[in-house]
């Protein structure tokens, strides 16, 4: 049985979707999985991101969003406790979120966030725990165990996994319309993020500009999200740097760095961790989050000329957080269009942990890295 699926978009959403398709359709020897993208890592939106797990930048967090987030959390957490963690850049970190500044509460956050039941080690901070943040004078806060993914490493490894399967092909190009693909594919998965504004003619998708600074601050080993008198700041450690943020500027298409934003980020983050005042060098980066007014669009469309398109875009500031969960739902939709024979599906279940079924590390033939000096 031949099946030609084209994923348009090679960001975190496109690649996690491609892996999930490959897993669930592994019994199709004639599967052709093509990933077409104008940009691949290290030039995608998530390469700029801090790869931090927490639903953020979405208008509402509904039951669907929580399901996607919870599944993704579980995948990342099990990857952290696997041989993948080092190469794929997956860190388990404690994350502190502090609401209110200088004793002034925004009045919204004395309740637990809706995602509190999805994560491990969640607790609201008591007065004693809050007192270490007295310099910020927050009025409430919580702590949880979560994940920060170094997305550049993660996408690199995921792409290596996909690339070693002869049924998968990568094409580096921009398309102007889905009609270009009509003769080449049975089904399209649209993972184009902000590109969906033009490709799917969806003007509810717009940029939420984010500027961050990657700095060397090796003493920081936890995440801090906090309010200041100038806005919300965050400090997120990665494998080899710390991400300081940030901005969330709706409808701003500017991909150039802005000096006043850089200064503001440094000022805000130094209010939380004053040692950051001494930081004078860093890599300033900008990305455009694919914000969508009604949240993520994840649904099937049959176009007037008979094309089957499954849309999955509009993840705003949560693309990493929702990635594997959305990918799973995309494939559930594909299964309603191209059913998998049950017995064939179970043949592909190998008893491996779920994350290993989704993608596996591909060994490097050259093991010289083992000889490098310690």
Ligand X SMILES: Cc1cc2nc3c(=O)[nH]c(=O)nc-3n(C[C@H](O)[C@H](O)[C@H](O)COP(=O)(O)OP(=O)(O)OC[C@H]3O[C@@H](n4cnc5c(N)ncnc54)[C@H](O)[C@@H]3O)c2cc1C
31 vs 58, beta carbon nearer ligand X: 58
User: Using the rule CB under 6 A, is 10 a contact of ligand X?
Assistant: yes
Dihedral of CA atoms 133, 137, 143, 146 in degrees, nearest 10, equals: -80
Whole-Å CA distances, 368 to 239, 342, 372, 373: 21, 44, 7, 11
Tokens 């950051």, located at residue:
276
User: Using the rule CB under 6 A, is 16 a contact of ligand X?
Assistant: no
User: Using the rule CB under 6 A, is 320 a contact of ligand X?
Assistant: yes
Given a contact cutoff of 8 angstroms between Cβ atoms, the answer to whether 298 and 329 are in contact is yes
Given a contact cutoff of 8 angstroms between Cβ atoms, the answer to whether 96 and 144 are in contact is no
Least distance to ligand X, CB of residue 177, Å: 8
Least distance to ligand X, CB of residue 297, Å: 11
135 vs 283, beta carbon nearer ligand X: 283
Tokens 């991101």, located at residue:
49
Given a contact cutoff of 8 angstroms between Cβ atoms, the answer to whether 208 and 214 are in contact is no
How big is the site for ligand X, counted in residues (CB under 6 A)? 41
User: Using the rule CB under 6 A, is 50 a contact of ligand X?
Assistant: yes
Q: Is 289 annotated as a binding residue?
A: yes
Least distance to ligand X, CB of residue 286, Å: 7
Least distance to ligand X, CB of residue 321, Å: 4
Q: In whole angstroms, what is the distance from residue 211 CA to residue 262 CA?
A: 8
User: Using the rule CB under 6 A, is 38 a contact of ligand X?
Assistant: yes
Taking alpha carbons only, the member of 324, 335, 17, 351 closest to residue 162 is 17
Binding mask 279-298 for ligand X (x = CB under 6 A): --------x-xx--------
Q: Is 192 annotated as a binding residue?
A: yes
Judged by CB under 6 A, the stretch of 6-14, 213-221, 344-352, 353-361 that binds ligand X is 6-14
Given a contact cutoff of 8 angstroms between Cβ atoms, the answer to whether 7 and 199 are in contact is no
Taking alpha carbons only, the member of 265, 172, 273 closest to residue 217 is 273
45 vs 109, beta carbon nearer ligand X: 45
49 vs 228, beta carbon nearer ligand X: 49
Least distance to ligand X, CB of residue 185, Å: 14
User: Using the rule CB under 6 A, is 175 a contact of ligand X?
Assistant: yes
Least distance to ligand X, CB of residue 354, Å: 20
**What Rg value do the Cα atoms of the chain yield, rounded?**
21
Q: Is the dihedral angle over the CA atoms 219, 223, 226, 231 positive or is it negative?
A: positive
Least distance to ligand X, CB of residue 278, Å: 23
User: Using the rule CB under 6 A, is 51 a contact of ligand X?
Assistant: yes
135 vs 172, beta carbon nearer ligand X: 172
Pairs from 173-177 (Cβ < 8 Å, separation ≥ 24): 173/36, 173/37, 173/38, 174/38, 175/8, 175/36, 175/199
Residues between 208 and 237 with contacts to ligand X, criterion CB under 6 A: 210, 212
Query: Which segments are annotated as binding site?
Result: 192, 234, 289, 317
Residues lying near ligand X in the complex (CB under 6 A): 8-14, 36-39, 44-46, 48-52, 174-175, 191-195, 199, 210, 212, 246, 287, 289-290, 313, 315-321
């Amino acid at each position: 049985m031949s099946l030609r699926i084209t994923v348009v978009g090679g960001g975190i959403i496109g690649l996690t979707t491609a892996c999930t398709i490959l897993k669930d359709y592994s019994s199709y020897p004639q599967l052709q999985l093509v990933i077409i993208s104008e940009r691949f890592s290290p030039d995608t939106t998530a390469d700029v991101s801090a790869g931090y797990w927490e639903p953020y930048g979405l208008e509402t967090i509904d039951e669907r969003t929580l399901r996607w987030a919870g599944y993704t959390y579980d995948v990342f957490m099990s990857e952290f406790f696997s041989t993948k963690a080092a190469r794929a850049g997956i860190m388990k970190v404690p994350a502190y979120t502090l609401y209110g500044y200088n004793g002034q509460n925004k009045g919204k956050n004395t309740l637990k966030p809706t995602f509190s039941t999805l994560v491990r080690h969640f607790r609201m901070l008591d007065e004693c725990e809050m007192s270490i943040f007295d310099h910020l004078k927050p009025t409430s806060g919580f702590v949880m165990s979560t994940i920060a993914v170094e997305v550049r490493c993660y996408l690199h490894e995921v792409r290596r996994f996909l690339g070693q399967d002869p049924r998968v092909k990568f094409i580096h190009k921009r398309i102007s319309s889905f009609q270009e693909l009509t003769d080449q594919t049975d089904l399209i998965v649209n993972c184009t993020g902000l590109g969906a504004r033009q490709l799917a003619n969806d003007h509810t998708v717009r940029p939420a500009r984010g500027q961050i600074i990657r700095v060397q601050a090796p003493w920081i080993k936890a995440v801090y999200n906090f309010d200041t008198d100038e806005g919300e700041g965050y400090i997120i450690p990665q494998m080899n740097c710390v991400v300081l943020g940030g901005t969330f500027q709706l409808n701003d298409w500017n991909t150039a760095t802005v000096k006043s934003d850089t200064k503001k980020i440094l000022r805000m983050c130094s209010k939380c961790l004053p040692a950051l005042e001494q930081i004078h060098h860093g890599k300033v980066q900008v990305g455009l989050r694919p914000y969508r007014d009604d949240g993520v669009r994840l649904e099937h469309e049959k176009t007037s000329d008979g094309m089957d398109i499954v849309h999955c875009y509009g993840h705003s500031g949560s693309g990493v957080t929702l990635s594997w969960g959305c990918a799973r739902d995309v494939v559930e939709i594909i299964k309603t269009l191209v059913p998998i024979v049950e017995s064939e599906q179970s043949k592909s279940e190998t008893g491996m942990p779920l994350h290993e079924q989704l993608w596996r590390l591909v060994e490097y033939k050259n093991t010289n890295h083992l000889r490098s000096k310690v």
